[in-house]
Amino acid sequence: MASYQVLYWHTIPVQVRAQDENGRASKEMPKRFMGAVEKASMEAGLTDDDAYLNVYRWGEQQEREGSAGEVAEAVVAELDAEQQEIDWRQAVAELKAQSD
């Protein structure tokens, strides 16, 4: 059994971190996710380091069967399959609405 969390830039997943009794594993999302983050941050005007970094957040800690490495790999694969199209424009709209 391993616990895991997803790191999000606003609503866009960028990394999965998992831990079991033997240690930790971390797996980054495919490059297109960070590409979406870059597009969204520029469009939302989050060019200041603090503003950009303040949008990162860890999701809720969850558990599932498998080693830390297996869980990190599986969660990344599932998120990748679920989000073939990353709606970075929606993230921009939400961020702009929050700043108003």
Q: What are the φ/ψ torsions at residue 24 (nearest 5 degrees)? A: -115, 155
Q: What is the pLDDT of residue 25?
A: 98
Q: What is the pLDDT of residue 46?
A: 87
Q: Give the whole-angstrom CA distance, residue 20 versus residue 78.
A: 20
Q: What is the pLDDT of residue 100?
A: 66
Q: Give the whole-angstrom CA distance, residue 78 versus residue 62.
A: 15
pLDDT along the chain (100 residues), means of 10: 97 97 97 96 88 93 97 98 93 86
Q: Give the whole-angstrom CA distance, residue 46 versus residue 24.
A: 31
The closest of 18, 12, 6 to 31, measured between CA atoms, is: 12
Q: Where are the chain's structural domains? A: 2-99
pTM: 0.92
